[in-house]
Each structure stands twice: as structure tokens, then as C-alpha cells.
Amino acid sequence: MFWSGLALGALTILYGFFIMDFSSGDGVISIPIATVEAASVEPLPLVNVVEIPKPLLTPISDRSVPDSKPAPEIEPTPNPIRILNQVNKNELLWLAADTSWRPYLWPNDYKIFEEMWIIASCESGNENGWIKVNRIGDLDIDDGPSIGVMQINIHYWPMLGEVFNLFDPRDNLQAAWEIWNLHGWSAWACSTELKE
């Protein structure tokens, strides 16, 4: 407030120098001084801020996949004529890199991917380096069935069966990541195959 008053006073004096009244004949220069009142400033009216409601949870299918590592150097070996009902190790890595597994694949010399391969091989069966992606297992137990390359049990995980197409290997791997993120490998019976 002090500085604005000082500036206003300086402007008033300058204004006075330029408007001189020479009408008095006595040689005296009279400088009219104008007083300017500061305009009253009224505060802006408060605006009601409307908050956009946020969803309680981000839908699983809308979550972004962090892109923290470059694409793997291992090229997939799909045969375009072959229907994708089996995957080999390179193809599983390629598919997993397109899901939320991506940032977990490369650290520690592919340790988590190697564990994934062991679990998938045990759960879905490994025939000469090929794992079935459309396998339906656990039909003989009350808590079945389990579907796909990572054998996602839809009795325990019904929401994952609704959100993902568990016969699609990418969707199945994404659903497996959701389970692994909550419980680790212990959610799979084949976790006993992992070396400590």
C-alpha cells in the first residue's frame, strides 16, 4: 500500500509539471495539484468449484502399462498361418512385454520371467518347449475351472473372468499379473516348482 501511494504521488507531481498555469501575470508559476482517489476494489465473487467425481477404482482394463524398458531383443517366432493355441518361451516373453509385466521382465537377469515360464509350464503343460494357451484345467475339482496359459481360476477370480478374455494369452497374462501383484506366485499351486 505504501509503494502504491508513493507511486501515485510521483505521478501527480509529474502531471503538475506538464500542466502549468501561466495565466497569473506576476511571474509565479502555479502548479495545480490534483488529488486522485484510488478506485475502490471490490473482491471478486466466489465461484463455486465443482469437483468432478473420481471413480473409486481405475478399471483394470484401463490401467496403463509403464514403458520403462526398451522392447526385448528376442523376436517372436509366430507362424502367421498357425492359430495361436501354443506359445514357446520367446513368444511368451513377447506377449508378457505387452502387459503390466513389462517393467518386471528384465531386472535380475529375467528372474521373474523365468519364474513365469516355470509356473506356466507346470500349470498348462509344456510339450517340447510349447505351452497350451487355451487349456481348461481343474474341471475335476469343485473350485474349477482354470483357464489359459497361466490357468486363472474363475471360481476364485470371477471378476478377472468378466474383465479379460482368459483364452487370449495377453489377457491371461494381464490377469495373472493382477493376481501376482496381490499374492505373488503363492497363488498358483505350481509355485512349489520354483527354487528358493
Among all chains, which residue has been given the C-alpha cell 515360464?
117
pLDDT tens-digit series, residues 78-121: 544 445 688 899 999 999 998 999 998 888 888 999 999 999 99
pLDDT tens-digit series, residues 23-53: 445 555 555 555 556 556 666 666 565 555 5
Q: Write down the pTM of the prediction.
A: 0.57
| Strand pairing class (86-87; 126-127) | unpaired
pLDDT tens-digit series, residues 130-176: 998 888 887 777 777 888 999 998 888 889 888 999 888 999 999 99
Residue spans per domain, the chain: 1-38, 76-193
DSSP per-residue string spanning 125-163: -EETTEEESS-EE-TTSTT--EETTTTEETTT-HHHHHH
Q: CATH: 3.40.50.720, 2.30.40.10, 3.30.70.2190, 1.10.530.10. Which one for 76-193?
A: 1.10.530.10
